[in-house]
Amino acid sequence: MDELLEEILKECTVFSKEGKVASYIPELAKANPADFGIAILSSDGRFSRAGDCGKVFTIQSIVKPILLLQALMDNGVEYVRAHVGVEATGKPFDAINYTEQTLLSDHINPMVNMGAIAMCTMIGGASYEERFDRLLELTRRLAGNDKIGLDEKVYQSEKRTGNKNRALAYLLKTYGMIEDDVEQVLDCYFRACSIQVDCVDLAHIGFALASHGRPAQDGERIFPSEYASYVNAILMTCGMYDGSGDFAVKVGVPAKSGVGGGIMAVVPTRMGIGIFSPALDEKGNSVAGIRALEALSRKLYLSIF
């Protein structure tokens, strides 16, 4: 398997030239587009890796399924579903599309920014610091890595410049979809996006979703199986934003991308995959990362369809 991964990296590295590293969060512009890593954790216990697997990057939107999991663990499916929809928007992750029509919960889902910002308000905790700490703790448990922390520079950079997210959060507040103080909610969201991970962490998190709540290390269930079904279904239809349909056809597994260049893929019952290559397409998805997943899916028959 390690050989196959090396081969795929070699074959796909050229595609990173077709993308650009994110620059709308100034600190992310410092990423090296040549970095490329892949890690896989399989249900038979095998762990395979190739390339820049130990390089850390910010989780960005890959935290959205973890936010959703935490909201489900704290409130249950019915409550979460009643407050944030599950339909694909077919729009960019930070789309505003203000039309003078009332914004309804069914217009958003947990994998776009508005839905994820709303998820922050559903995490249990006496303060927003406590909510973030609980989210970080869940991330560490899922990844089996208690050293996971925050990239302070990216957090400050996004907090300073994240005005579009401010606009989205104020729209949520205007339409009564969140009640708490907008700056506090956003602070939790910006911190969540700035959690620092590597490919190995993403492979573990993907594995926990693939195995319906059981992590690789100790086998003790972290969350109920039905939450994995809920999260994985939304990842399948919305995880790659307005590229989700194309990704479903070409790769065929639930996955989540982030503008830090990571992709986490979930192959139900079989494996968790973590990829890092920071050059992005215009939708904010890693170009070489998607190509590598396409190759892997073809070679290992990963598509669930």
| Catalytic choice (21, 63, 64, 154) | 64
x/- track of binding to ligand GLN for residues 52-91 (CB under 6 A): --------xx------------------------------
Comparing CB distances to ligand GLN, the nearer of 69 and 259 is 259
Q: Which of 42, 48, 105, 113 binds ligand GLN (CB under 6 A)?
A: 113
Annotation says 164 is catalytic? no
Which token pair is 69? 């999991």
Annotation says 189 is catalytic? yes
Residue count, binding to ligand GLN (CB under 6 A)? 11
Comparing CB distances to ligand GLN, the nearer of 66 and 295 is 66
Q: Which of 51, 215, 258, 261 binds ligand GLN (CB under 6 A)?
A: 258
- Assign 3-state DSSP to the chain and report helix, strand, coil percentages, each to 5: 50, 10, 35
Is residue 27 within 8 A of residue 153, CB to CB? The reply is yes
> 95-123: b or e for each residue (b if 16 or more CB lie within 10 Å)?
beeeeeeebebebbbbbbbbbbbbbbbbb
Minimum gap (Å) between residue 111 Cβ and ligand GLN? 9
Assess 247 for contact with ligand GLN (CB under 6 A).
no
3-state secondary structure of 187: helix
Please name which of 216, 220, 222 lies closest in space to residue 274, comparing C-alpha atoms: 216
x/- track of binding to ligand GLN for residues 143-162 (CB under 6 A): ---------------x----
Annotation says 64 is catalytic? yes
Minimum gap (Å) between residue 85 Cβ and ligand GLN? 18
- Of 191-220, binders to ligand GLN (CB under 6 A) are 193
3-state secondary structure of 123: coil
Q: Which of 35, 94, 151, 198 binds ligand GLN (CB under 6 A)?
A: 94
Comparing CB distances to ligand GLN, the nearer of 164 and 298 is 164
Is residue 282 within 8 A of residue 222, CB to CB? The reply is no
Annotation says 241 is catalytic? yes
- Of 4-63, binders to ligand GLN (CB under 6 A) are 60-61
For 69, 80, 167, 223, 248, the CA distances from 212, given in Å and listed in that order, are 12, 19, 35, 8, 20
Please name which of 202, 206, 170, 209 lies closest in space to residue 186, comparing C-alpha atoms: 170
For 23, residues 6+ apart whose C-beta sits below 8 A from its C-beta are 29
Is residue 186 within 8 A of residue 166, CB to CB? The reply is yes
Which token pair is 30? 């410092």
Comparing CB distances to ligand GLN, the nearer of 196 and 211 is 196
| Catalytic choice (80, 259, 266, 287) | 259
DSSP classification of residue 301: T
- Phi, psi torsion values for 240, nearest 5 degrees: -110, 30
Place of tokens 């997210």: 165
Minimum gap (Å) between residue 263 Cβ and ligand GLN? 11
Q: Which residues bind ligand GLN (CB under 6 A)?
A: 60-61, 93-94, 113, 158, 165, 193, 258-259, 284
Give the active site residues. Answer: 61, 64, 189, 241, 259
